[in-house]
Amino acid sequence: MLHNIALIPHLVRMYVRTRMEYRGAMFLAWLSQGFSYGAMYATIALIIARFDNLGGWQWPDMALLLAFHLLAYSLGACLSFTQFRDIEEKVRLGTFDAVLVKPVGPWTFLVFSGINIGYGGHVILATGLMAWSLTQVGIAWSPLLVLYFIAALISAAMLTAALMTMIGTTALVWVRSRHLFSIFFGFWELARYPLNIFPAPLQMLMITLAPLAFMAFVPVAVILGKPVPLLGAWAPLASLAAGPLCMLLAVFHWRWCLRNYQGAGG
């Protein structure tokens, strides 16, 4: 365990150096993705500009929701998305096997030797938008609320990482997993908007089977003092627990899949 932790800085350093070999492309990617998300947010801003609010959420509220969503997603995804989406290919090519014959925890090696620093654009946009929106919404800040904000953000990032880890890990047993990411991103899109505008069955789904409501809506609604459908007073606790719980699930899932790994045949 300690051995794995000690390896992390070495793995990260190696990988960041390989990325810096192509830093032009990396910075361009940051810019393009930041631009793309910005354009999408501008579109949503246009809707609210014309219609005043969306389910009772005005633009500053919406901006905070979008920023929180993007930041939590980026923090969680940099430790999971590309690493686990590509397990499918690593299995096919046999490079996953090469990870298994080393005396390193496969999860540690996989995550940190491929830590995705491509979310620079996302993080810059998200923090900028978050900073602006926090000045616009009237929040009665207290030390407890600040603590909650940070903890909820971490929990949301953990949730993201756990879900994406679980989806990618199925590639160890089912060989194909990319399509599951399409489903994930469908719900991820929903997670950007106030939950109360959706019909009740969908709200239920977003809190249980596809718990992406906890990625942004629930924590931000709690902070803004807005009503949370279905959860009500349980919202703060639920949002803090969601991340660690999913993380636990992901750990068991990973262990189980590893034990049942068959390889690509041969």
Partner 1 sequence: MRAGAYPAFALTAFQSRLAYRNQVWASAFGELVISFAFIAIWTAAFAGQVVVDGATLPEMITYVMIAGLLYWNTDRLINDVGEAVRTGDITIFLLKPLSYPASLLATHFGHYVFDQLVVTLPVLLIVGFSVGLLPPASLFHALMALPFWALSWLMLFTLGTLCGLLAFWLLTAFALEWFLKGIMALASGAIVPLWFMPGWLSGILGYLPFAWVSYYPTAIYLGKLDPPAAFLYFGIGLAWLAALGGFLAWLWSRARHRLIVQGG
Partner 2 sequence: MAAIISADGVGKTFRQLKRQSGLAGGLRSLFSRTYTEIRAVSGITFAIEPGEAVGYLGPNGAGKSTMIKMMTGILTPSAGALSVLGREPHANRMRNAREIGVVFGQRSQLWWDLPVRDSFALNRHIYDIPAARFADNLAFLTEMLDMGAYLDRPVRQLSLGQRMRAEIALALLHDPKIIFLDEPTIGLDVVAKDAVRKFLARVNRERGTTIILTTHDLVDIEEICPRLIMVDDGKLLFDGELTRLRADLGSRRRLTLEFATDPGPLPLATATLNRDEGAAKHYLLEDEAISLIDVLNEVGRGHGLKDVKLEEPDIEEVIRTFYQNKSRLAGASS
What is the chain's percent helix, strand, coil content, to nearest 5?
80, 0, 20
**Residue type for 73, please?**
Y
Q: Residue 26 corresponds to which tokens in the numbers above? A: 């990396």
120 makes contact, choosing from partner 2, partner 1, none, with CB < 5 to 8 Å by partner type, with none
209 binds partner 1 (CB under 8 A): no
Q: Residue 252 corresponds to which tokens in the numbers above? A: 């068991």
**Residue type for 202, please?**
L
Helix (H, G, I), strand (E, B), or coil: what is residue 163? helix
6 binds partner 2 (CB under 8 A): yes
State the residue for tokens 């789904």: 205
The residues, ordered by sequence, that sit 6+ positions from 99 with a Cβ below 8 Å of its Cβ are 90, 106, 109, 110
For partner 1, the closer of residues 50 and 259 by Cβ is: 50
Q: Residue 71 corresponds to which tokens in the numbers above? A: 């930041």
143 makes contact, choosing from partner 2, partner 1, none, with CB < 5 to 8 Å by partner type, with none
- Binder of partner 2 out of 44, 45, 104, 145 (CB under 8 A): 104
185 binds partner 1 (CB under 8 A): yes
100 binds partner 2 (CB under 8 A): yes
x/- binding map, residues 12-51, to partner 1, per CB under 8 A?
------------xx--xx-xxx-xxxxxx-xx--xx-xxx
Cβ atoms of 226 and 61 within 8 Å: the answer is: yes
For partner 2, which stretch binds (CB under 8 A), given 2-10, 114-122, 163-171, 220-228?
Answer: 2-10
x/- binding map, residues 146-185, to partner 2, per CB under 8 A?
-----------------------------x----------
Distance (Å, rounded) from C-alpha 206 to C-alpha 188? 10
Positions in the binding site for partner 2 (CB under 8 A): 3, 6-7, 10-11, 14, 17-18, 21, 93-95, 97-98, 100-105, 175, 261-263, 265-266
